[in-house]
Amino acid sequence: MIRFDSVTKTYPGQARPALNDIGVEILRGEFVFLVGASGSGKSSFLRLILKEEKPSKGAIHVLGQDLGSISTRKVPYFRRDLGVVFQDFRLLPNKSVYENVAFTLRVIGKSRGYVQSAVPETLKLVGLDGKGKRMPHELSGGEQQRVAIARAIVNKPQILLADEPTGNLDPVTSAGIMTLLERINAIGTTVVMATHEAGIVDQMRRRVIELSAGDIVRDERSAGYDGQTVRDVEVVPHREPGKPDESGASGEPESASEPDDSETPAAAPVVTAAAPKVTPEVMRDAEPLYVEPEATDAVTDAAAEITAAATGTIQVDPEQLKPKTTGGAAASEHLTLAERLGLRAPGGPREGDDDQEVGPTK
Ligand SMILES: Nc1ncnc2c1ncn2[C@@H]1O[C@H](COP(=O)(O)OP(=O)(O)OP(=O)(O)O)[C@@H](O)[C@H]1O
């Protein structure tokens, strides 16, 4: 379903690769956690799957397609089979919950009838039944992430990529989001999620791929956040190039072929584990907030109540009624539609891109 063959990604101007000769395969229906310290390459891994970035070396196959052979014109079609969720939700601030979810379907040319049945069904699935008319700023963070998840899955993608989806949420709300992702996985979607949340990973016991400075250092089934290894905070002492350290070892690279990267994290403490916010206890005690797809209306109502109780009352201050997005409304005005939807990284079209960003080319 997703295969990396000897993939190296080195960003322009960087001596050290963000991902270094990665070989890994993720099968249909798996739920995979990507863990690792900040800067270890998790987001790069997800961006490569989305074809937001190209590998510097190696090949990536997703859903049977060699990404290197998909033209930029065809990328929007390829991405229809992928749903993406981010830490900062990335909702369209001036559209209602319903319109945020419907938008994905409209740009790919789904019929009005399809939209009218798929959107309420998906909102029900994520526990937001009855909240379609709300605007994003009238929702709690957990509810906004549910809208983002609804938008990502409304087109029934085969793969859901989630980059720190609980990063901005409190522990209880995070646990609810995880039960939802678990449910989405149970109905057949392959989920790949980058996270720093040890409690979530420890409780869910799924496959864990751990990255460290661009290398896969662990790939275990039914694993926890820390694996078998001791993962205390590791501090690597800084050494000036050419200057021996206390043990007398030279500060020169061991081999002449090793890159001389002045931005190497060796100059700063290397934190190998983040402090857990969501504890195993919170995960264990979490109310399941998702709704079974075949649920009756009574069940849906109960789930909506649980969601409302878990996310709390929202005090809306007139100041807050102004559209909010990460980076502010002013910043969002300068983003293209595809960028705001997360279908393309902010920064505008790059060399080799075509004009078509989302939706049919005709
Ligand atoms: N667009 C870019 N240009 C240059 N370097 C980049 C770019 N994106 C990422 N990097 C570098 O690549 C390395 C891996 O970054 P990446 O964002 O993939 O890590 P991460 O594990 O997702 O980190 P975090 O947990 O903080 O999100 C880092 O050293 C980062 O500085």
pLDDT digits (tens, 9 = 90+) for 323-341: 444 444 444 445 444 444 4
Does 36 sit in the ligand 1 pocket, CB within 6 Å? yes
pLDDT, mean over the chain: 75
pTM score above 0.90? no
Answer whether residue 86 shows pLDDT above 80.
Answer: yes
Higher pLDDT, 39 or 356: 39
Q: What is the pLDDT of residue 284?
A: 65
DSSP SS3 for 247: coil
User: Where does the pLDDT of residue 172 fall: very low under 50, low under 70, confident under 90, or very high at 90 and above?
Assistant: confident
As a whole number of angstroms, the distance between CA 159 and CA 30 comes to 10
Domain 2-221 has CATH 3.40.50.300: yes
Does 268 sit in the ligand 1 pocket, CB within 6 Å? no
Does 39 sit in the ligand 1 pocket, CB within 6 Å? yes
Kindly state the average pLDDT of the residues 203-215: 94
Q: Which residues partner with 155 through β-bridges?
A: none
Answer whether residue 306 shows pLDDT above 80.
Answer: no
Does 14 sit in the ligand 1 pocket, CB within 6 Å? yes
Q: What is the pLDDT of residue 87?
A: 87
Answer whether residue 262 shows pLDDT above 90.
Answer: no
CA of 41 relative to ligand 1 center, distance in Å: 6
Residue 194 Cα: closest atom of ligand 1: 22
Q: Which of 64, 66, 38 is nearest to 54 (CA)?
A: 66
pLDDT tens digits, 238-252: 444 444 443 444 433
Atom 17, ligand 1: residue with shortest CA distance: 43
The DSSP-derived string for 114-128 is: HHHHHHHHHHHHTT-
Q: How many angstroms separate the Cα of 67 from the Cα of each of 43, 111, 135, 187, 188?
A: 17, 29, 36, 26, 23
For 299, what's the count of Cα atoms within 13 Å in the CB-facing half-sphere?
12
Does 144 sit in the ligand 1 pocket, CB within 6 Å? no
φ, ψ (nearest 5 deg) of residue 115: -60, -45
User: Where does the pLDDT of residue 195 fall: very low under 50, low under 70, confident under 90, or very high at 90 and above?
Assistant: very high
Q: What is the pLDDT of residue 136?
A: 95
Residue 53 Cα: closest atom of ligand 1: 1
Q: What is the pLDDT of residue 319?
A: 58
How are beta strands 31-35 and 190-194 bridged, if at all? parallel
Identify the weakest region by mean pLDDT among 107-116, 126-135, 273-282, 344-353. 344-353
Does 43 sit in the ligand 1 pocket, CB within 6 Å? yes
Atom 30, ligand 1: residue with shortest CA distance: 39
Q: Could you tell which of 4, 33, 42 is best to mutate to test the pocket of ligand 1, judged by most ligand atoms within 8 Å of the CB?
A: 42
Answer whether residue 18 shows pLDDT above 60.
Answer: yes
Q: What is the pLDDT of residue 209?
A: 96
Q: What is the pLDDT of residue 311?
A: 39
Task: Show me where the domains of the chain are located.
Answer: 2-221
